[in-house]
Amino acid sequence: MRLRKTSAKNPPTSLKSQALEPYRMHPEGQTLTTDQGIPISETDNSLKAGVRGPTLLEDFHFREKMMRFDHERIPERVVHARGSGAHGYFQVYKSLEKYTQARFLTDPSLRTPVFVRFSTVGGSRGSADTVRDVRGFATKFYTPEGNFDLVGNNIPVFFIQDGIKFPDFVHSVKPEPHNEIPQASSAHDSLWDFVSLVPETAHMVMWLMSDRAIPRSYRMMEGFGVHTFRLVNAEGKAHLVKFHWKPLLGTHSLVWDEAQKLSGIDPDFHRRDLWDAIEAGNFPEYELGLQLIPEEDVLKYGFDLLDATKVLPEELVPVQRVGKLTLDRNPDNFFAETEQVAFCVANVVPGIDFTNDPLLQARLFSYLDTQLTRLGGPNFAELPINKPVAPVHNHQQDGFGRQTIPTSRANYHPNSLGGGCPFLANPRQGFTHRQERVDGHKIRQRSESFNDHFSQATLFYKSLTKPEQEHLVAALEFEIGKVERAEIRERVVHQVLVNIDFDVATRVARAVGVPPPKPLKAPKVSKRSRNMVDTSPALSIEHGPRDSIKTRKVAALVADGFAGKELAHVRKRLEALGATVEVVGPTLSPVKSGDGQEEVPLKTFLTASSVMYDAIYVPGGAKSVEALKRVPLAVDFVREAFIHCKPLALSGEASALLDTAGVSQLAPPPPAKGVDGAMGVVRSAKTETKGFSQLFADAIAAHRHWAREAPPPA
């Protein structure tokens, strides 16, 4: 990939970046020292009694070096262990003072620095990026009033309604305890056992089986705050709110076969994609969206807004886009920043408050608690990446790893020794928990308003396009098909799926070898529950924008004799629209075109694979195409791209590669003259003719061409 030099490393506007500067170590031109600053002139041989003698305890440099190495690891996050981070900023479009007093949402001139960490949930720190899983989307806003953390996911609902079930759920989805298998996968007995016994998981499981769980890129997925929060304005008036992130590149996914192959070919696929995009100056952007709901409407929509297993359809309450997040700087150091960043749902600023959602309430405890262990004590808020840009003054003291040096003799409140400092904030500026009348028995019970577990699972399925539905059913067949115990497979079909969709349950029953379900007499939903819409098109990825090819990666497959002018033309056109074209050849040595040009491939058929690209292009040139036909790995490029429904552009002679790849019977016939782009296979009768590049660009913007998917076996 050709990297453009950018100023991304030091955006001058970032207050947080400036605040981090004193902590950055710049070794350029410096001498090697110990941690105590003592210069070291030899670090390759330990101190020994004679050149062949034993190492001496006196060697403080050796002991320090080894001690530091021995203690490099800290516990990984118990969930969301695998992740990637980036710095950036957020700016609100216009003041939201009508709804909130939070400065970062009321001052359009303010660029609030942020740090974002994307993650998978189930796998450990070294697991692959493209597994089927929920993605975390956690944002720390370093606001002038302290840190606000929006710790969300790329799926708008959750598996459980009450946080007390979180340890049970996580135990069930993680590798099984006896043999620690499988890694980063939900396709195993314990997860589906849990699902079959806990029907509140139904809605989220449908999302987990959908294309949302295999995103193309962190840059191309939505984010959701999941819970209902509150915004409170300066007069104390509150609104309920649901937070959304909308990626400006649209929402796009991989296909499952591709995702699995990528797990081996490039386990860092999403991490690399994010890093490379930022280095190249293609800064990921997301708009912040709000669904604002009057407090009294908490039960208006046929479900309880305190229930995190429900979505509020955008068709009922539209998402207002209020500001933009831009990620413009990669971290300098993975551990210091991405690993040590500590998000906490309880970090809110004046103007944002919680609700009684029992899942949210549990999270308010869990994040601080887990970070005490993970980051080794209570002072982790002083780590550079976590430190607010707002001033911090209080009477908290001591603990492992204290960094700041309190200078006052008074470490209590009230005090006169310290002149009463720090003073209490003015009540209009200080955080006040919104007063809410709470009446009730002390009771361990789920509210009746949380009873309906299936109607939104059905709504989700019905809102998907046909290809998305097919992917979801195939995912269920795959995952449940991997469950060893027949009684669990049967319970999932007969207790869960049949309540969501009879046809889905019947198909999955057959695929996983359990008796077909009987149709339900009356749907198992509580009287209270009703969906106010039959479908919600916004839930389908396919209904999102499909109009840009910005940052898409195209592989151009060449061998000696390729049509050089044509490649240059197509590349120029695609790059003008924001895509990147990488030449892939037999070796990294220069390849000669039929018309006297030379290309140096960036990758070879051995070091690259079609799953690493969004689209494949093979220029014409009889000699080049004949050579490609004889390289099985090059033919694989075409075959796999075709099967994964990716845009293919095959010019002139290159069209014949579909025959060699054994997929031409699934493709439309090649054009006798001119160009044709049916089913995302763009072909020209001769080498590139007019309209070829544009058709290819349109096919790339459409992302995938599902018409190519083979019909399911009869």
Residues of this chain that interact with ligand HDE (CB under 6 A) are: 77-80, 83, 117, 119, 136, 138, 151-153, 158, 163, 166, 226, 308, 342-343, 359, 362-363, 366-367, 370-371
Report, in Å, the least distance between residue 154 CB and ligand HDE.
9
- Closest chain position to ligand HDE (CB): 136
In 606-654, where does DSSP find H-type helix?
A: 622-629, 632-643
* CB-based contact 707:648 (threshold 8 Å): no
Look at strands 598-599 and 553-557 and give their pairing.
Answer: unpaired
Cα distance between residue 118 and residue 330, in whole Å:
13
Catalytic residue among 147, 153, 154, 531: 153
Q: How far apart are CA 115 and CA 20, in angstroms?
A: 12
Active site residue 441: no
| Min separation Cβ 217 and ligand HDE, Å | 17
By beta-carbon proximity to ligand HDE, the closer residue of 153 and 655 is 153
User: Annotated binding residue at 367?
Assistant: yes
Q: Is residue 507 helix, strand or coil? A: helix
CA dist 664 and 648 (Å) reads: 12
In the complex, the smallest distance separating the C-beta of residue 83 from ligand HDE, rounded to whole angstroms, is 5
Task: Show the 3-state SS of 33-48.
Answer: ECCCCCECCCCCCCCE
3-state DSSP assignment of residue 434: coil
For 316-333, give the secondary structure using H, E and C.
CCCCEEEEEEEEEECCCC
Residues 443-446: contacts with CB under 8 Å, at least 24 apart: 446/161, 446/162
Nearer to ligand HDE, 32 or 74 (CB): 74
- Of the pair 226, 352, the CB lying nearest ligand HDE is at 226
Annotated binding-site residue? 363: yes
Give which of 164, 244, 245, 227 is closest to 353, Cα–Cα: 227
Count of residues for the chain?
714
What phi and psi values does residue 131 have, to the nearest 5 degrees? -70, 160
CB under 8 A, 24+ apart: contacts of 15-20: 15/113, 15/142, 15/389, 16/87, 16/113, 16/115, 16/142, 16/389, 17/87, 17/113, 17/329, 19/384, 19/387, 19/389, 20/384, 20/385
User: Catalytic: 80?
Assistant: yes
DSSP string for 196-231: HH-GGGHHHHHHHTSGGGSBS-GGG--EE--S-EEE
Q: Which is nearer to ligand HDE, 80 or 239 (CB)?
A: 80
CB of 133 to ligand HDE, least distance (A): 12
Judged by beta carbon, residue 539 or residue 554, the one nearer ligand HDE is: 539
134 vs 249, which CB is nearer to ligand HDE? Answer: 134
Q: How far apart are CA 110 and CA 389, in angstroms?
A: 13
Closest CB to ligand HDE among 220 and 699? 220
117 is in an annotated binding site: yes
Q: Is 68 annotated as a binding residue?
A: no
Question: Is 103 labelled as part of a ligand binding site?
Answer: no
Q: Among residues 45, 61, 71, 80, which one is catalytic?
A: 80
Measured from the CB of residue 334, what is the shortest distance to ligand HDE in angstroms?
Answer: 13
Q: In the complex with ligand HDE, which residue's Cβ is closer, 342 or 475?
A: 342
- Measured CA to CA, the distance from residue 560 to residue 528 in angstroms comes to 69
Smallest distance from ligand HDE to CB 207, Å:
12
Q: Which residue has the tokens 């302290």?
A: 146
Q: In whole angstroms, how close is the CB of 371 to ligand HDE at the nearest point?
A: 5
Q: Are 202 and 496 in contact (CB under 8 A)?
A: yes
Catalytic residues: 80, 153
Residues annotated in a binding site for heme: 77, 117, 166, 363, 367, 374
Residues annotated in a binding site: 77, 117, 166, 363, 367, 374
